Structure 1
């Protein structure tokens, strides 16, 4: 198994620093130059590490002023469980997916925590570009515990819905899930995949899914461009 890239190792240390609350919400984060000297690496390596933190919404970058801590422990609301493929079919749209990555790797600290794993436990990293009527609309990064789903194969994901595959091959029974939404902007890689300009508004959606024993088996980060999605949430007046 290959060693994780240096930028990923640095990102992991910075995540732990923020989660341990040694860096407070909305406070100024380290500069690229400070981190480059601290870890004795190039600024390009630091930028890659900071990009990973931005993607997970631990930090945000303000124009001309640097990075700020944006991580806050989440409070989740539960909604009806859904499947991208099944929702698309219900709307008479043609869902397709392009599998961009299928690899077994070690997770960073944050993802390991979300899946209830130790950091040396392997996960599958699955990256997919979701399309409707052959128009790219979602970019997904999914993480699954490898020990839970041994012998999962790339070609199986090309032919099946992920949830259908896990339910059939591993007798997985899905109970529910939780999602957290962030306003964000399309980055350079997402720009190429989704055919949108860098800086286009989008939603970042972090999704964790549980089995009937309330054990998390999936953590997915989704980039959803704002021009394709709107969300309506019911509000209840408990004082009436």
Structure 2
């Protein structure tokens, strides 16, 4: 508990100094040795603080150079397939229900090609808005083939982690992901959901998740507001301008 608190104190101090331009974009943070000495912390604690800064897109570590300030905007690693709750932390998320889970036919014009088994089964569809600190960040519309998922509509709660629900309830694990990403302008519906002006640039992401059941895949259509948080993956920060 004490080491966790110490790492957070160092993380918060460095983040505040980056945001205040004590360390400007492109500058190098003090070395791990210097941070250990100045803060009287163990190297593992210092590395934990730096890793948090790196995962949020504030710094990038370069061999032989150290920790370089990369951005003053927090980045969220949402382009991986771990899921929103796993990447952000469920305690920081609020969820607005747009459509509770319901069984329905697939949309006529779907964003991925469906196989015959999926098409014939119909789908379970739900949609929700996910927010951080009260700011809508992502509008998510998800489609699941209605194949051997008993009681899904009754049991799944929109304020919970979808991937955790699949794993605990049906032993379904996400094993991979295919996605397509575009810059788009918020139409009236998306602007309303994300509390943006109509026409504001947003990130549009179409996803197909593979699972440990060969015949069952999960599909999501996401619209992301990147005005406050950049989107990142393991290779760096992604925003509308870089698509």
Which category of TM-score, normalised to the shorter sequence, fits these structures?
0.5 to 0.7
Q: Structure 1 residue 141: deviation in Å?
A: 0.6
The unaligned stretches of length 5 or more in structure 1 are 1-78, 236-240
1:20-169 to structure 2, matched below 5 A, reads 80-89=80-89, 94-101=92-99, 102-111=101-110, 114-116=113-115, 117-154=117-154, 156-158=156-158, 160-169=160-169
Query: What is the DSSP-based 3-state SS (H/G/I as helix, E as strand, rest coil) of the residue aligned with 1:111?
Result: coil
Cα separation, partners in 2 of 1:113 and 1:81, compared to 1, 3 Å: closer
Alpha-carbon deviation of 1:151? 1.6
Q: Distance in 2 between matches of 1:154 and 1:225?
A: 30
Post-superposition shift, 1:205?
A: 0.2
Structure 1 residues 232 and 173: CA distance shift in structure 2, 3 A? closer
**C-alpha distance in 2 between matches for 1:232 and 1:166:** 23
Offset of residue 83 of structure 1:
1.5
CA distance in 1, matches of 2:224, 2:96: 16
Unaligned runs of 5+ in 2: 1-78, 237-243
Tell me the CA shift for residue 154 of structure 1: 4.7
Higher relative contact order (CA 8 A, sep 6+): 2
Deviations 1:42-62 (A, max 9, x none): xxxxxxxxxxxxxxxxxxxxx
The one-character-per-residue Cα deviations of 1:194-218 (angstroms, maximum 9, x if unpaired) are 1101100011101111113554421
Count, aligned residues: 155
Moved more, 221-230 or 136-145: 221-230
Whose radius of gyration is greater, 1 or 2?
Answer: 2
Partner Cα distance (2:123, 2:111) in 1: 9
CA RMSD of aligned residues (A): 2.6
Measure, in 2, the Cα distance between the counterparts of 1:128 and 1:144.
15
Counterpart in 1 of 2:205? 205
User: How far apart in 1 are the matches of 2:235 and 2:118?
Assistant: 38
Q: Deviations over 1:172-213 (max 9, x none)?
A: 122111211011100101111111011000111011111135
Q: Who is 2:57 aligned against?
A: none
CA distance 1:88–1:234, change in 2 (3 Å): closer
Give 1:115 deviation, angstroms.
Answer: 4.3
Paired residue for 2:16? none
CA distance in 1: counterparts of 2:176 and 2:107, whole angstroms: 24
Residue 35 of structure 1 is matched in structure 2 by: none
Matched, 1:175 2:175: yes
